[in-house]
Every structure is written in structure tokens, then in C-alpha cells.
Amino acid sequence: MKDTQNSPTDTNADAENTEYLTKSRAKTDPKHGCPPDKRDIRTHIKNGLIILDKPKGPTSHQVAAWVRDIFSLKKAGHSGTLDPGVTGVLPTLLENATKIIPALVHGKKEYICLMQLHTDIPQKQIKETAKSFIGKIQQMPPVKSAVKRQLRTREIYTLNILEIDKRDVLFKSEVEAGTYIRTLCTDFGKKLKTQAHMQELRRTMAGSLPEEQSHTLQDIKDAYEFYKEEKNEKILRDIIKPLETGVMHLQKIIIKDSAISAICHGAPLRICGIAKYTKDIKTNDIIAIMSLKGELVTLAESTMNTTEIQKKDKGIAAKITRVIMPQNTYPRTW
């Protein structure tokens, strides 16, 4: 049975258009839990995600620490490290929202890069070479990287040349997480039988989080100061998204209220606890387990695909990998 809706809760301002299949009809008890957009402001902040426009200069860790200090929080984190000289989308997670970092790390990334060639190359040859990089490629991480230097397979989904000005090549590319654009530029030069280097780089998308919704450190500071002085939450809520925004790119299973407490205590998700699910779940996917109110309950690894969930009446559909919701949010029914 199909059920097309904006999200588990139609009140979520950041909801994506998602098609859900219904496993069993279920209602949610308004006495427990809370739709993400109805959280009080302090709870909202502590469960918030900011699409931060990282400036050139500081490290990603420094930027996250500044955000933490602005809100006087115990912790803040970031997903997908950007080098000091790189700008753009840096998902920044506040307090409890740091638990979803593993879900964001694996999302696709989009970049705009200015590459400089070391010799003159005909434009037609540059454009043809760009096409040859689309698909699976082999990469060796650069010397200064946080991972072991060994050959890795990564996928380039798109690589579009935007402009060529003599030896300067501006391109836009959507890539698998963990792809090094600096290395991509070096390898691009080798294919052209010359040398090339990354001149400038900006990340324009991380997972489903776009540059258009990003905010600078000054925006964040000003919004929080305005809130403290005027007690007006609107601007702050526009900047700080519910942590659920960070899992929009994942496949989802919506569970019944009666299953939430057991799941939060680490029990696997059984078929009998499922209310709805998205149509493209594959086995071993990282998925989001959601409440009927649209709250993120846990991250999990699927042990069944969509077809199996649809056909089976018993069995374990997912194993919990990270509990996000506090354990006492919904009452025990077991």
C-alpha cells in the first residue's frame, strides 16, 4: 500500500517529498514525544544542525568549537572535514545531534573547483578528459591526509566543465564521500600528460544539505544575540535545523509508538513494530528509524530490503547502530 506524504510529520518545514509504503496502520499518542518543529527553543538548539558556510583560514574543528561557544554548549561537531583553505558547506551538529555524524559522513558531496593546468591544452581535449573520470576511479589519498595511504575506489557521479580560461579550468563535480578533489586534479593533469593542481575549492552540497541554506559564523552569532535580546526565535530557528534534516538522504522506516522504548534500549527492529517504510531500502543500508511524529529514533543497519519487509510478517528488519532519542521519551510496553 502506497502512502505519499511530505514526511512522517507533515508539520516539518524541512520535509522532503517521500513515498512511503504502509506495513500496518498506526496512530501516535500526543502525550509522548514531540514533532521536531514543535520542540522548545533550548531543546531545539541541543538537537540542532547548522549548515555552516565555512570561511577560508580556520580548521573545521576550530569552526565547530566557535559554534559550540556561541551557544554555551558542552559539545559540537562537524561532518566531512574541509581543509583550512577550502570554503563551503560544513554540517555542524549541536550536542545530541552529534550522534548523527556517521549518517552524514557517507553522504554524497558536491564541489566547485578551480583547477590550474601547467601547460596549454586544447579545450576539446580538456572536456573529453573530464568525461573519462565519470564512474568508478582509483585514488591514492594525498600525503597530508587523515587516512591510510592506499589505493581506494571512489565514484565520480558528475564532472561538468563550467568555464575554461587559458590554463584555469572551473568545474563542478558530485562525488562519493571520501573523494579527494586535490588528487582528482593531479590525476586530471596526468591524463592530459601535464601537471595540474587545485587552485581553489568550495563545497556546495553535503548529503542533501545545500549551499543555498548555509549561514556564516557572523549570521549565527547575530541570530543568537538577537534571540537573547528580543526573545524572538524565528531567525534562530531558520538557521538551526532539527537534527532530522541531516538524515533526509537516508532510506527510512517509521515505527509504532509501542516499539520505540525497546528500540531505544538497543533491541533490534522487528517487522511487527513497523508502520511505514520507504521503497528503496537495500540490505545492509544505513537507514533512519523514525517515529510517527517525525522524530529520529535511531540509526540502524537494514537486514531486510523493501521487498522482504513488504512480504514478511516476522523477523528482524534492522539492527540498531546508534540510539539518538533519549530512552525515556516513550513509555515501555515490554
CA-based torsion, 182, 186, 191, 192: positive or negative: positive
Alpha-carbon span 111 to 135, nearest angstrom = 16
Amino acid at 102: P
User: Position of cell 499518542?
Assistant: 29
| Count of beta carbons in the 10 Å neighbourhood of residue 148 | 7
CA-based torsion, 214, 219, 220, 226: positive or negative: negative
Q: Which of 80, 89, 14 is nearest to 247 (CA)?
A: 14
Going from the C-alpha of 233 to that of each of 44, 45, 49, 214, 312, the distances in angstroms are 11, 11, 16, 18, 46
Amino acid at 151: L
Q: Assess whether 83 carries a catalytic annotation.
A: yes
| DSSP bridge partners of 5 | 18
CA-based torsion, 266, 272, 274, 279: positive or negative: positive
| Residue of 14, 37, 83, 285 marked catalytic | 83
Alpha-carbon span 311 to 319, nearest angstrom = 19
Q: Which of 229, 233, 137, 141 is nearest to 176 (CA)?
A: 137
What is the distance of C-alpha 223 from the center of its chain?
A: 23
CA-based torsion, 106, 107, 108, 109: positive or negative: negative
Query: Residue 231 has which C-alpha cell?
Result: 526573545
Alpha-carbon span 308 to 317, nearest angstrom = 9
Active site residues: 83
